[in-house]
Amino acid sequence: MDRGLLHGEGVFETLHLRPSGPWLLDEHLDRLERSAALLEIPLPPRSDLAELAFQGARAWPGDEGALRLIVTAGPPPVVYATVGPIPGSVLRERREGIRLITADRGIQTPPPWSLVTAKSLSYAENLAAKRWAIRQGADDLLWLTPDGHALEAPTANLVWLTGTTLCTVPPDGILAGTTAAYLLEHAADLGLTADIRKITATDLPAADGIWLASSLRGLAEVHTLDGTKRAASEWTPRLLALLGFS
């Protein structure tokens, strides 16, 4: 029995499988390394993890799929890879957008042992938060600091547009997003500028477009924020195309 698995002691990455292979593999392996360092889990050689990802991609017959790479703490560390379809709820959120609510996460400054900047297998509270949001009549929630600044969603990052500036929040007290980073790096391809800045829940409704970004969803446009309906952004299809979703 894998002792790490029984304590949620492991790190993982979820990658979008495309006909071209596992998307943003290098960026995901970079983040896996940062997560593993925080949990003090020794990783196998990077080339082995990359080869495993390619094997997973070759094993998947569909147009798009989900690859999970997992390394548990053990000891000894154990590597797992799973491949499967994109969940229907994820495809629907990408296509139709979401109702998002904001909620205080209750943590102003994470303590020094905090793992909020790591993608760990201790994911039960993230999933519980999402279930709570659904009980409130929403699809997802955006965590805030007690003083009202946006952090992240339990399984996605916040991206918004102000005029022609595409923004996300600084990577403090959150898991830095690979999809959000890609969008900002390539914003110029669409004639947009990019910026990393803080935003409060009070200022967020004035944004010209709000999305949650994650590897499988790509983007889910926020069509309803804290119960208030928003106009659809003309940028949603362009940003999805920039991510390779069309």
Binding site for its own copies (CB under 8 A): 1, 5-10, 12, 38-40, 68, 70, 80, 82, 103-115, 120-125, 127-129, 131-132, 146
Measured from the CB atom, the residue of 7 and 46 that comes closer to its own copies is 7
Burial category of 26 from C-beta neighbours within 10 Å (exposed 0-12, middle 13-18, buried 19 and up): exposed
Q: Are 152 and 40 in contact (CB under 8 A)?
A: no
CB of 134 to its own copies, least distance (A): 11
Cβ at position 234, least distance to its own copies in Å: 34
What torsion, rounded to 10 degrees, do the Cα atoms 26, 243, 121, 169 define? 100
CB-wise, 107 or 194, nearer to its own copies?
107
Closest distance of CB 169 from its own copies, Å: 19
State which residue, 44 or 87, has the beta carbon closest to its own copies: 87
Q: Which residue lies nearer to its own copies by CB, 5 or 190?
A: 5
User: Amino acid identity, residue 4?
Assistant: G
Residue 175: CB minimum distance to its own copies, A: 13
Residue type, 26: D
Residues ≥6 apart with Cβ < 8 Å to 154: 125, 126, 127, 129, 130, 140, 141, 143
Supply angle C-alpha 67, 72, 74, rounded to 5: 155
